[in-house]
Amino acid sequence: MLQWLEGVPVGFLYLIQFAALFVEGTGLPGILVEPFFLATSLLISQYKASFVVAWLLAALGNFLGNLVGYAIGRRWLDPFLQRIGPRLGLTPERLETVQDWFRRYGPWAVFIGRWFGPIRTPALLLAGAARIPLGAFAIASALAALTWTGVYQAAFWLLGQATVDLLRRQTGGLFLVLLLLVALAGLLWWRSHRLRPAPSPGLPQEGERGILQVAEDLFRREDGPRTRRRRLRWFSILLLALALSSIPSLAYMAWQFQLNSRVPVPSAPFPEVDASWRLLVLAPHPDDEVLGAGGLMQKVLGAGGSVHVVVVTAGDSFARAAFYLAGKVPGRQGYLALGARRIQESLEAVQYLGLTPQQITFLGFPDKGLEPIWLHYWDPAKAYRNPFTGYDRVPYDIPAKGTPYNGPALAKALEAVLLEYRPTAIVAPYPLDEHPDHRATYDFLLWTLADLGWDHIPIYTYVVHHGEWPSRWQADPDNPLGPPRELARIGPWVSLPLTLSEGERKLHAIRLYTSQMRVMGSWLQAFARANEIFSPMMPVDASGPAETRSFTLLGQWAWPKNRLAKALLPVLPPSLKTRVDWSAMLEEVSTGAEDQGWLIRLRTRGRPDPNREYRLRWWVFPKDLPPQGYQVIIHRNQVSVREVTPSTRPWPKDLPVQARWTPSGLALFIPEKALQSPRLLIAVDIGRPGGIEDRSAWVLILDRR
């Protein structure tokens, strides 16, 4: 999905589309509404917006605009044309002919006219000027608004992402087409100037010809010099308008490509691979294992090491893929068929790279459901229900069949794989990936490692979803890949060079995901490069050496001079929403331990907004008790602590969390006695109640004091 849409509230986008369709419906002025359909359709394809809501609001806005346009035409158009019509060649006789035609066919003209941009505004205004009965006009306009906005919304939902994909793949070619259109328009205009017929007696001169006469010249069978000249001019204008309308999208794609192509390839090399490696590859969906680590798996197998792949979800909630697979709008069985198909594709792809069926584990959890499970479903008695398949447990014919969709079950499944395989290195999704399933997969991995007490295993993370990256959307095995521009500064990053044969095998394995190749093949193949990049992640040791300076949080609070090391939590790069509203933009999150507790500081770009919720989430892993999750919410100067898991260890009421606003954020203090854990899993997010607008990554902090 386009990066500038990330973080835009869905309600705001609904409102913008409603307003755009309203203004377009009035006919004053005529505006291009297709970009608004595309924007909402892209969010619909990501399940962040509702098709029905977007469609009905667009239809309502357009219908209300039609009523305003009708009133404008009825009140002002007729007197306006009576006054200046003769100057444009619109004689009273011609005006009367047009109005008689609209009185006879007005409702049909309104209905048909709403489907065609060039006659949309004239038909609307002339219907009012012709005094078509308001009831007939309203019925025709309502039916037209419902049908054409529904068709447009559906078309952009099904084809909108393909349009964006085309722009990404063929930006250079489309620029060439644009230049050819401009050149052709100029040639036609120049050609029209060479046709200079002598004025014909009795005919009005250029400036006196009206709109109806221009249309008559364009479509009548006469082929005199004057007619040919007008045709050439009009066609050149249409070609130029077509070329200019594509400039913004092409310029945006070219700009994104240039920005991403300037990011250098990481200079730090990936660690040397040898026969002692036991690599565990964690993939949120079937295909991520090859996109992120298809080359690394070949390296490890070639060196004599072993590889095991865990695919967490079945990828069964991808509407466009299910639509193309079923050949119709998918129901629950269509999504289940997609999940089974994707599991089989993943099995075939890893076997092609050299793994056996015993070296891949499918957990079968719901696509697009991992983050809700991570945040809200830690009660073993409750389970998340997949809205696409209708199941609340694994329905596929795999060993995990029947596993409930909740946090404890997923953590237990990951623990079982880790204990049986005992990897020496883990490859997992990047913690700030734009896809929530990718972030949640990394979070569940950290939770499992903390629960097992495994602090020594290196984790190498890979990015799949981030804005327009990777540019361009095509296979390019001869050129290396750098990290996304916004993430390059977060680092560190390492690069693993691939041989030509390794790159070709990875590309062939990607093409085995046929259900995905059909809907986003060019983007998938963009991961076939001359290298693979990873960002190493390790737990933060909070018992390191003390810093020499004190760090003042606010008046009476300070980082003590003898405090332990401060840890920084990675935060998401700015989105369009956070760039506009700085109070929702996290600039830095830092935390540090001292003798009495933990200090956490949130720094925002602008002054914090008390009407938002500032949330601190953490998990503790006591030695003799089950893990316990908590959430601190600061909202309107009120501090509340909520338990994520059933109350095996309720929050001590006599140890309140202290919070203080600062000019640039928020500071919190958590008493050490309330934690009593050698490991702390922590993250921060900001948002309106019930939503998240900006967030940090989850970080595992070790306290060995």
Which range, of 122-136, 204-218, 631-645, averages the lowest pLDDT? 204-218
Q: Is it the case that residue 333 has pLDDT exceeding 90?
A: yes
Taking each helix axis from N to C end, the angle separating 225-245 and 211-219, rounded to the nearest 10 degrees, works out to 100
| Structure confidence at residue 563 (pLDDT) | 42
What is the model's pLDDT at position 171?
A: 52
Given this model, what pLDDT does residue 503 score? Answer: 93
What is the rounded distance in angstroms from the CA atom of residue 445 to the CA atom of residue 322?
Answer: 29
Candidate from 39-48, 245-254, 373-382, 484-493 with smallest mean pLDDT: 245-254
Residue 411: C-alpha distances to residues 330, 374, 382, 543, 618 (Å): 31, 10, 15, 27, 16
* Range of weakest confidence among 375-379, 394-398, 590-594: 590-594
What's 159's DSSP letter?
Answer: H
State the DSSP H helix or E strand holding residue 300, giving kind and residue range, or none if neither. Answer: helix 288-302
What residue ranges in 447-556 does DSSP mark as E strands? 459-462, 494-497, 531-537, 540-541, 551-554
Judge contact between 280 and 423, C-beta under 8 A.
yes
For the chain, domain boundaries:
3-168, 174-196+205-253, 278-538, 551-702
Per-residue pLDDT at 216: 46
- pLDDT at 552 (0 to 100): 28
- In whole angstroms, what is the distance from residue 520 CA to residue 161 CA? 9
Would you say 646 and 580 are in contact if contact means Cβ atoms under 8 Å apart? no
- pLDDT bucket at 53, cuts 50 / 70 / 90: confident
pLDDT value, residue 288: 97
Percent helix / strand / coil, the chain, rounded to 5: 50, 20, 35
| pLDDT > 90? residue 369 | yes
Nearest one of 364, 171, 316 to 252, comparing CA atoms: 171
Q: Which residues contact 210 (CB under 8 A, 6 or more apart)?
A: 85, 88, 89, 90, 94
Distance CA(141)–CA(160), nearest Å, equals 26
Look at residue 402 in the predicted model and tell me its pLDDT. Answer: 96
**The domains spanning 278-538 and 551-702 adopt the same CATH topology:** no
Can you tell me the mean pLDDT for 147-172?
A: 64
pLDDT of residue 178: 60
What pLDDT digit, counting tens, does each position of 265-285 carry?
A: 777 899 999 999 999 999 999
N-terminal to C-terminal alpha carbon distance within the chain: 45
Query: What is the predicted pLDDT for the residue at 530?
Result: 92
Segment 619-635 mean pLDDT: 85
User: Across the chain, what does the average pLDDT equal?
Assistant: 77
Q: What is the pLDDT of residue 407?
A: 95
Residue 64 to residues 77, 497, 680: CA-CA distances in angstroms? 19, 59, 55
Which residue would you say has higher pLDDT here, 42 or 509? 509
State which amino acid sits at residue 569: L
Question: How far, in Å, CA of 70 to CA of 74, rounded?
Answer: 6
Sign of CA dihedral 370, 371, 377, 382: negative
What confidence category does residue 448 fall into, taking pLDDT thresholds of 50, 70 and 90?
A: very high
Question: 182: pLDDT confidence band, cut at 50, 70 and 90?
Answer: low
Q: What's the CA gap between 317 and 49, in Å, rounded?
A: 15
pLDDT recorded at residue 640: 84
Place 316 in a pLDDT band, splitting at 50, 70 and 90.
very high
Counting residues of the chain whose pLDDT is more than 90, the rounded percentage is: 31
Better-predicted residue by pLDDT, 121 or 304: 304
Gap between the Cα atoms of 515 and 520, Å rounded: 9
User: What is the pairing mode between strands 278-283 and 425-429?
Assistant: parallel
- Counts of helices then strands in the chain (DSSP H, E): 21, 21
Residue 701 is encoded by which pair of tokens? 């902090």
- Cβ atoms of 84 and 211 within 8 Å: the answer is no
Q: Please name the residue that has the structure tokens 């309104």.
A: 110
Which range among 94-103, 239-248, 427-436, 467-476 has the greatest average pLDDT? 427-436
Mean pLDDT of 554-570: 45
pLDDT at 94 over 50: yes
Question: How far apart are alpha carbons 10 and 264 in whole angstroms?
Answer: 35
In the structure encoding, which two tokens stand for residue 47, read together?
């399940």
**Predicted confidence band at 140 (pLDDT cuts at 50, 70, 90)?**
confident
pLDDT band at 598 (very low <50, low <70, confident <90, very high): confident
Confidence of residue 557 (pLDDT cuts 50, 70, 90): very low
Rounded percentage of the chain residues whose pLDDT exceeds 70:
65
From the list 261, 26, 278, 211, the residue with the least C-alpha distance to 128 is: 26
CATH fold, domain 551-702, is: Immunoglobulin-like (2.60.40)
Instruction: Summarize the confidence of residues 675-703 as an average pLDDT.
Output: 84
Of 296-300, 497-501, 547-551, 589-593, the least confident: 547-551
**Type of residue found at 668:** L
Is 70 exceeded by the pLDDT of residue 309? yes
Confidence of residue 248 (pLDDT cuts 50, 70, 90): low
The answer for 657, left when phi > 0, alpha when psi is -120 to 50, beta otherwise, is: beta
Q: Of the spans 337-341, 582-586, 673-677, which averages the highest pLDDT?
A: 337-341
**Is 441 exposed, middle or buried (CB count within 10 Å of its CB: 0-12, 13-18, 19+)?**
buried
DSSP for 309-321 reads EEEEE--TT-HHH
Give, in words, the CATH class of 278-538: alpha beta
Angle at which helix 332-352 crosses helix 288-302, to 10 degrees, equals: 20
Range name among 334-348, 485-499, 535-549, 590-604 with the lowest pLDDT average:
535-549
Query: What's the whole-number mean pLDDT along residues 53-68?
Result: 85
Q: Which residues contact 276 (CB under 8 A, 6 or more apart)?
A: 305, 424
Using the predicted structure, report yes or no on whether residue 485 has a pLDDT greater than 70: yes
Write the single-letter amino acid at 268.
A
- Better pLDDT: 195 or 217: 195
Q: Which helix (H) or strand (E) holds 396?
A: none
Residue 483 and residue 535 in contact, taking contact as beta carbons nearer than 8 Å: yes
| pLDDT tens, position by position, 12-41 | 778 888 888 888 777 655 566 766 777 777
Unique residue bearing structure tokens 């509230």: 9
- What SS3 string covers 481-500? CCCCHHHHCCCCCEEEECCH
pLDDT at 582: 58
Q: Which of 58 and 311 is assigned the larger pLDDT?
A: 311
Distance between CA atoms of residues 336 and 390, nearest Å: 10
What does the buried/exposed string (b/e) look like for 268-293 if buried means 16 or more CB atoms within 10 Å of the residue's CB?
A: eebeebeeebbbbbbbbbbbbbbbbb
pLDDT tens-digit readout, 497-526: 999 999 999 999 999 999 999 888 888 999
Radius of gyration from C-alpha coordinates of the chain:
31
Per residue in 533-556, pLDDT tens? Answer: 999 988 877 665 444 322 222 223
* Most confident segment among 218-222, 531-535, 601-605: 531-535
The distance of Cα 337 from the centroid of its chain, to the nearest Å, equals 25
- Return contacts of 334-340, CB within 8 angstroms, 24+ apart: 335/388, 335/389, 336/389, 336/395, 336/396, 338/515, 339/314, 339/315, 339/364, 339/367, 339/389, 339/395, 339/396, 340/314, 340/396, 340/397
In sequence order, what are the residues at sequence separation of 6 or more whose Cβ sits closer than 8 angstroms to the Cβ of residue 41?
A: 54, 153, 156, 157, 160, 161
19 close to 138: Cβ distance less than 8 angstroms: no
